[in-house]
Amino acid sequence: MAVGDVSRGVFVHPLASEIVERIRPIWGIEHALSLMGWDGRTYMPRGGVEERAIARAELLVLRRRLLLNPETVKLVENAEEAVDDMNEFERGLVRVLKRNIRIESSLPDELVYERAKVTEEAVAVWENAKSSGNFAAFKPYLERIVELARKMAEHLGYEEHPYDALLDLFEEGLTTKKVEALFNSIMPTLKLTLEKVRASGYYPERHPLEDVEYQVPVMDKVNREVLSLIGFPWERGRLDVSAHPFTISLGIGDVRITTRYEGVDFRHTLYAVIHEFGHALYELQIDEALKATPLASGVSLGVHESQSRFWENIVGRSPAFVEAVSPLLRKHLGFLEGYSDEELYRYFNIVRPGPIRVEADELTYNFHIYLRFKIEKELIEGSLKVDEVPEAWNSLMEELLGVRPKNYKEGVLQDIHWSSGAIGYFPTYTIGTVLAAQILYRYESVKGGFYDSVRSRDFAPIREYLRESIHRWGSTFKPEELIEKGLGEPMNPEYYNRYIMRKFLEVKLP
Ligand code: MG
């Protein structure tokens, strides 16, 4: 079957089908960039770094040029006038392209190139600064990056707050006001629940299994069996090893995930795999008719993260999942002898306020995001200077979680995001955790028996529900529209509050 035939049934309007054909080279470039990105983070020899960076920069320029080609822009403009005669996929295609063209064309070439150059260097500088805990080395880069982000916001435009322009890049339609409202809804519940949980002691702050070492080949086997259990299609995906776990989609038929092996405290690698599975499943279950078009990817980072958190937390850290997976774990991990399912559940759900975001548990995670949101917003509006960030970070961490980072490595230097220019990204993690809980409640009200399915290792109805309500649409609808359509109402943080209180305050034993 020719490539063009795949989406023929969906993109039937002449302007839409012309667009799909015309921009397919852009998809081809993105496919190549994804493969290069995967390779760069998994198997590429160190010697390849410099040339890969050149190749990547060239392809990005080419992609931008193709997108901003006047004939392409004109075609999209014409299509926009015809959207009333188009189906939802065609309208989605026009929306996505119009948005991409707006973003790319509002940023001048010099700004794009300077940002690419500064962030490329900054990531390398940040890596060294982090390992030595030296903020002063990273400071000039962060200053440049914040300045460039503020310039970007001015070029992109916004209605109320310059940070809105940056948030929108990662989550279409997100604003500072919406993020503030979101945190206002969830922080009181999190604070109260955290206090009660720490007072009760059922969820431990430390567990002996944290110190137990595992053999990497054995754990790799466990991870693969868990993936098979929850339904990872091996003929359409891979599991590899990288420094930081990630998911990358080359297309609907090839989605790759990674994990890492630290050799101790096996829950980290196991839950990284379950998390990435959630991201992968989203990409794998997009409607085949959208293949090789701009609609064939998850719609936003927040919705994407809702899928990974759903599998990691809502499914993976539940008593029912522990029951479902424990025979498999016991078969391979001899050191689990003497630990009951309940002990395993407690180990998987350690609650311990700490300084590091990626080590945070379900209860403390959003405190880390709130801190970053507050600092980013103030940096972009200019009420906080880069100089003042390390101290602001440490004080806020102490105020929120009662822990003060011992050094900048476990404080302001811990995340890669800022060095890569990603300011406005963090709030999407909170959107993800909140939506994940909402999906659970929606599933329960529409279908019911969620945890019975999990307990009986019957994950197909869950995958099918996610496919039907969210995955199959790809980027067809704006995030807010997709949520309303798929979950029957807009994002509602009250489901998350309910989930948190039910899980942590009404403990049900496995
Ligand atoms: Mg993720």
Across 221-225, average pLDDT:
98
- Which range has the worst mean pLDDT, 44-48, 80-84, 212-216, 299-303? 44-48
Which pLDDT belongs to residue 116?
A: 87
Is residue 2 pLDDT above 50, yes or no?
Answer: no
The whole-angstrom separation of Cα 376 and Cα 382 is 10
Distance, CA 193 to ligand 1 centroid (Å)?
Answer: 24
Check: CB of residue 186 under 8 Å from CB of residue 493: yes
Strand pairing class (237-241; 254-259):
parallel
CA of 224 to the centre of ligand 1 (A): 19
pLDDT tens-digit readout, 425-440: 999 999 999 999 999 9
Instruction: Specify whether the CB–CB gap between 469 and 487 falls below 8 A.
Output: yes
Cα 308 to averaged position of ligand 1 atoms, centre (Å): 6
For CA atoms 173, 175, 177, 180, give the dihedral sign. positive
Query: What is residue 487's predicted lDDT score, i.e. its pLDDT?
Result: 97
> What are residue 323's phi and psi, to 5 degrees?
-60, -40
Categorize the per-residue pLDDT at 4 as very low, low, confident or very high, splitting at 50, 70 and 90.
very low
| Mean pLDDT score, 124-134 | 92
- Tens digits of residue pLDDT in 433-482: 999 999 999 999 999 999 999 999 999 999 999 999 999 999 999 999 99
Question: What tens digit of pLDDT does each residue of 11-36 get?
Answer: 999 999 999 999 999 999 999 999 99
**Average pLDDT of the chain to the nearest whole number:** 95
Proportion of the chain in helix, strand, coil states, percent, rounded to 5: 70, 5, 30
Distance from residue 457's CA to the centre of ligand 1 (Å): 24
Place of tokens 């009760």: 200
What is the whole-number distance in angstroms between the Cα of residue 314 and the centre of ligand 1? 14
The residue-averaged pLDDT of 228-237 equals 98
> 334 C-alpha vs ligand 1 centroid, how far in Å?
30
Instruction: Reply yes or no on whether the pLDDT at 254 is more than 60.
Output: yes
Cα 303 to ligand 1 centre (Å): 10
β-partners of residue 256 are 238, 248
d(CA 297, CA 371): 30
Q: Would you list the DSSP string of 18-69?
A: HHHHHTHHHHHHHHHHHHHHHHHHHT--GGGHHHHHHHHHHHHHHHHHHHT-
pLDDT-based confidence at residue 57 (cuts at 50, 70, 90): confident
Q: Which residues are catalytic?
A: 276
* Beta carbons of 97 and 66 less than 8 angstroms apart: no
CA of 277 to the centre of ligand 1 (A): 10
The pLDDT, as a whole number, for residue 437 is 98
pLDDT of 233 higher than 50: yes
130 Cα to the center of ligand 1, angstroms: 22
Q: Which helix (H) or strand (E) holds 256?
A: strand 254-259
More confident residue, 158 or 53: 158
Domain boundaries, the chain: 3-106, 176-505
**Centre of ligand 1 from the C-alpha of residue 447, in Å:** 26
Which pLDDT value is given to residue 508? Answer: 53
pLDDT band at 403 (very low <50, low <70, confident <90, very high): very high
Q: How many CA atoms lie within 13 A of 106 on its CB side?
A: 16
Topology, domain 176-505: Neurolysin; domain 3 (1.10.1370)
Q: pLDDT tens across 58-115, in order?
A: 999 999 999 999 999 999 999 999 999 999 999 999 999 999 999 999 999 899 989 9
Residues in the chain: 510
Distance 268 CA to ligand 1 centre (A): 14
CA of 84 to the centre of ligand 1 (A): 36
Q: How far is the CA of 305 from the centre of ligand 1 (A)?
A: 5
What is residue 54's predicted lDDT score, i.e. its pLDDT?
Answer: 87
pLDDT tens-digit series, residues 264-315: 999 999 999 999 999 999 999 999 999 999 999 999 999 999 999 999 999 9
pLDDT in tens, 484-494: 999 999 999 99
Q: From the CA of 65, how far away is ligand 1's center (Å)?
A: 30
Q: Which residue, chain included where needed, has tokens 């090789």?
A: 292
pLDDT (average), residues 377-387: 97
Residue 46 scores a pLDDT above 90: no
Give residue 90's identity as a one-letter amino acid code: E
